[in-house]
Amino acid sequence: MKNKRILTVFIIISVITTPLCAQENDFIKEYLERLEKSKEYLILVAETMPEDTYEFKATPESMSFAENLMHIGWAMDWHSQSLMGGREARDWNTDTELKVSNKSKQEMIAKINETFDKTIEFISNFGVKKLEERLDYFGSNRTKRQVMLLLADHITHHRGQLLVYMRLNGLVPPRYVLFQ
């Protein structure tokens, strides 16, 4: 009788927890798919903008096209490697790896591509149990899942600015790609 109770409890726990674990695994899988598509589209946008307009700013106080592009890389690096990964954050004032810093268009595109790949690798190895861990996000208590969603929003926000800059320069942005 005791064995039947243990077996029943085990079955009930399995029935409840298995779908929850599957949902978490699905979240990471779907997030990675979105990040891959976002990478493809951002690289296409960056390649389409002529290099001589990379310094274009919509207003004097705005970031340039190049600065917006590299800012996306900086944000991916900080969110994944530092905030969620625990690596010491880069010093914005001295680190030039993810800043424009006299980089050519091709060097910036290569750096963005590399940063996406590192972020994708980090998230690919991210344990699903860590999604519920909480951390301070600019004074707000957020789960790492929420931080991942905030990163996706941030990429989209700055990519949208790049698309506007293209239009302001008389260019037609690449056709929008879904699932990003």
**Tell me: the pLDDT tens digits for 110-119?**
999 999 999 9
**Tell me: the pLDDT tens digits for 74-88?**
999 999 999 999 999
**What pLDDT does 21 receive?**
47
**SS3 sequence of 3-58:** HHHHHHHHHHHHHHHHHHHHHHHHHHHHHHHHHHHHHHHHHHHHHHCCHHHCCCCC
The residue type at 144: K
Tokens matching residue 162: 């790049």
Contact 138, 54 (CB under 8 A): no
**What pLDDT does 1 receive?**
66
**pLDDT above 90 (res 151):** yes
- In percent, how much of the chain has pLDDT > 70? 86
- Domains contained in the chain, CATH given: 30-168 (1.20.120.450)
**Tell me: the pLDDT tens digits for 41-82?**
999 999 999 999 999 999 999 999 999 999 999 999 999 999
Q: What does pLDDT average to over the chain?
A: 90
**What pLDDT does 154 receive?**
97
- pLDDT, average across residues 119-123: 97
